[in-house]
Amino acid sequence: MNDRVPKRLVARARHRLVVRLTIIGVAVAIAMVAGAATFVFWGAYNVSALQQHTEPVYTLLNTALNRSIRQRAEDIEVPPLDDPAMAEQGLRYYREKCVQCHGAPGISRDDVGKGMTPVPSNLAHTARSRSPAEIFWTIKHGIKMTGMPSWQFIFTDAEIWEIVAFLMQMPRLSPADYQAWVAEVKKASTSATPPVSTPDPERGRLAMYGYACIACHRIPGLVGPQVDVGPPLEGIGERRYIAGVLTNNFDNMVHWLQHPTEVDPLTAMPDLGVTEQDAMNIAAYLSLLD
Ligand code: HEC
Ligand code: HEC
201-286 maps to CATH 2.60.40.1930: no
| CATH 2.60.40.420 domain range(s) in the chain | 201-286
- Does the beta carbon of 133 lie inside 6 Å of ligand 1? no
The atom of ligand 2 lying closest to the CA of 243 is 27
- Looking at residue 52, its pLDDT comes to 86
Q: Are 166 and 91 in contact (CB under 8 A)?
A: yes
Distance from residue 101's CA to the centre of ligand 2 (Å): 28
Spatial distance between the Cα atoms of 18 and 24, rounded to a whole number of angstroms: 10
* Residue 86: its H or E element: helix 84-97
Q: Whose CA is nearest to atom 27 of ligand 1?
A: 126
The tally of CA atoms less than 13 A away on the side-chain side of residue 156 is: 11
Most ligand 2 atoms within 8 A of CB, residue of 209, 216, 288 to mutate: 216
The atom of ligand 1 lying closest to the CA of 119 is 12
Long-range contacts at 212-216 (CB < 8 A, ≥ 24 apart): 212/272, 213/272, 213/282, 216/269
- Looking at residue 195, its pLDDT comes to 67
- Looking at residue 2, its pLDDT comes to 55
Ligand 2 is surrounded, with C-beta below 6 A, by: 208, 211-213, 215-217, 229-231, 233, 236, 239, 242-244, 257, 264, 267-270, 272, 274, 282, 286
- Looking at residue 73, its pLDDT comes to 97
78-186 maps to CATH 1.10.760.10: yes
Spatial distance between the Cα atoms of 211 and 48, rounded to a whole number of angstroms: 26
Along the chain (290 residues), what's the average pLDDT of each consecutive run of 10 residues? 74 93 96 92 89 91 96 97 94 95 93 91 95 98 95 95 97 94 77 74 95 95 93 96 94 96 91 93 96
- Its pTM stands at 0.77
| CATH 1.10.760.10 domain range(s) in the chain | 78-186
Spatial distance between the Cα atoms of 140 and 161, rounded to a whole number of angstroms: 10
